[in-house]
Amino acid sequence: MTDYFTETGSAETVNARVGEGTDPRLATVMAALVRHLHAFIKEVQLTGDEWDVAIEFLTRTGQICSNERQEFILLSDTLGVSMLVDALNNRRPAPATENTVLGPFHVADAPMRSMGDTISQGGKGEPCLYRGRVFDLAGNPVAGALIDVWSDNEDGFYDVQQPGLQPKWNNRGRFLTGADGAYHFFGIRPVSYPIPHDGPVGMMLQALGRHPWRPAHTHFMVSAPGYERIVTHTFVAGDRYLESDAVFGVKASLIVDFVPDPTGQAQWCADFDFVMVPA
Ligand code: BEZ
Ligand code: FE
């Protein structure tokens, strides 16, 4: 049968062209993508002008990308796709620590620091003691867990957003737990900030009546041999954007009370334990 393109059989015609030697997973994913894309276009009865706008939007999304700016990650985050992919791939039993969105501001190989050090190089912001322990599911301490932490500064910017203005590695560091699985270090109480919104994603949010703000949070990536890596944040309880995070990253288990530091060393103290699951 000749498979000329028709409106009704559009997706099937495209998918029938896939060659025999194609990687099976690629064939499955692409066939589903084509099916859903064609169904979407039919559902909304997309006009030619609307498709031109979409092409222009994606073109600008690519054009604004650089080493410091990843607009496609922002697009994925603001559409809830990053959180959905993470949810599908990181189902964990309680009381394991839940993941949340990685975001575009992680930098690999931050300086290794000693317990009790500060990650705040700028000397501004409200000082905060971060402390807790890393456990396995049975409640045993995890020794040798690498805690990679990063946060914004007192004005809501990561160091990589303000090169030359902020010291390199400001509000970043890595810490290794000892036999008791404990960690403690100093940083600042983070502040809520808008995700970069001067590009196509910002225009999309505005057109949809959505704000670009994220509630105040501190990022953590915790890894240890034999355990699943945790990519998460702690969120500051009481933040006005907890229920409307622009990237849908908030989970109830990750909200932490920042209390006056009982040790008197800092203004605030945030206690949080991480629970890891076997790899
Ligand atoms: C962040 O928390 O660093 C972030 C996450 C998603 C988009 C933009 C920023
Ligand atoms: Fe962040």
Work out the end-to-end distance of the chain between its first and last CA atoms, rounded to an integer number of angstroms. Answer: 50
In the Cβ-directed half-sphere of 55, how many Cα atoms lie within 13 Å? 7
Distance from residue 195's CA to the centre of ligand 1 (Å): 6
| Residue with CA nearest ligand 1 atom 5 | 103
Verify that 103 and 70 share a domain, yes or no.
no
Verify that 126 and 258 share a domain, yes or no.
yes
Verify that 66 and 103 share a domain, yes or no.
no
Verify that 101 and 71 share a domain, yes or no.
no
Verify that 161 and 68 share a domain, yes or no.
no
* Residue 77 identity (one-letter amino acid): D
| Residue with CA nearest ligand 1 atom 7 | 103
Verify that 63 and 132 share a domain, yes or no.
no
Verify that 153 and 62 share a domain, yes or no.
no
Domain that includes residue 38, residue range: 10-77
Verify that 131 and 205 share a domain, yes or no.
yes
Ligand nearest to the CA of 72: 1
Verify that 38 and 144 share a domain, yes or no.
no
CA angle 57, 25, 87 (to 5 degrees): 65
43 sits in which H/E element: helix 24-44
Ligand nearest to the CA of 156: 2
189, 128 contact by CB (below 8 A)? yes
Helix pair 71-78, 48-63: axis angle to 10 deg: 130
Q: Walk along the chain (279 residues) and give the pLDDT tens digit of each residue.
A: 567 999 999 999 999 999 999 999 999 999 999 999 999 999 999 999 999 999 999 999 999 999 888 999 999 999 999 999 999 999 999 999 999 999 999 999 999 999 999 999 978 899 999 999 999 999 999 999 999 999 999 999 999 999 999 999 999 999 999 999 999 999 999 999 999 999 999 999 999 999 999 999 999 999 999 999 999 999 999 999 999 999 999 999 999 999 999 999 999 999 999 999 999
Alpha carbon distances (Å) from 6 to 1, 13, 44, 51? 13, 8, 18, 19
Ligand 1 atom with least separation from CA of 106: 3
Q: Which of the listed residues 106, 149, 247, 254 should we mutate to test ligand 1's pocket, taking the one with most ligand atoms within 8 A of CB? A: 247
Distance from residue 236's CA to the centre of ligand 2 (Å): 12
Ligand 1 atom with least separation from CA of 73: 7
Whether the bond into 190 is cis, omega within 30 of 0? no
Question: Which pLDDT does position 279 carry in this prediction?
Answer: 94
Question: Which pLDDT does position 122 carry in this prediction?
Answer: 79
Distance from residue 32's CA to the centre of ligand 2 (Å): 32
Q: Is 143 inside a domain boundary?
A: yes
Question: Which pLDDT does position 67 carry in this prediction?
Answer: 84
Quote the tokens at residue 9.
């059989």
Q: Is 70 inside a domain boundary?
A: yes
- Ligand 1 neighbours, Cβ below 6 Å, are 74, 77, 101, 103-105, 195, 214, 247
How far is residue 60's CA from residue 54's CA, in Å, rounded to a whole number? 10
Q: In sequence order, what DSSP letters do the residues of 96-144 get, joined into one string?
A: SPPP----TT--SSPPB--TT-B---S--S-EEEEEEEEEETTS-B-TT
Q: Is 129 inside a domain boundary?
A: yes
Q: Is 82 inside a domain boundary?
A: no
Q: Spell out which residues have Cβ within 5 A of ligand 2, the ion.
A: 103
204, 195 contact by CB (below 8 A)? no
Q: What is the CATH number of the domain that holds 141?
A: 2.60.130.10
How far is residue 10's CA from residue 16's CA, in Å, rounded to a whole number? 10
Q: Cβ contacts of residue 150 below 8 Å, gap of 6+?
A: 105, 106, 107, 110, 119, 158, 171, 172, 218, 219
Query: Structural domain tally of the chain?
Result: 2
Q: Is 5 inside a domain boundary?
A: no
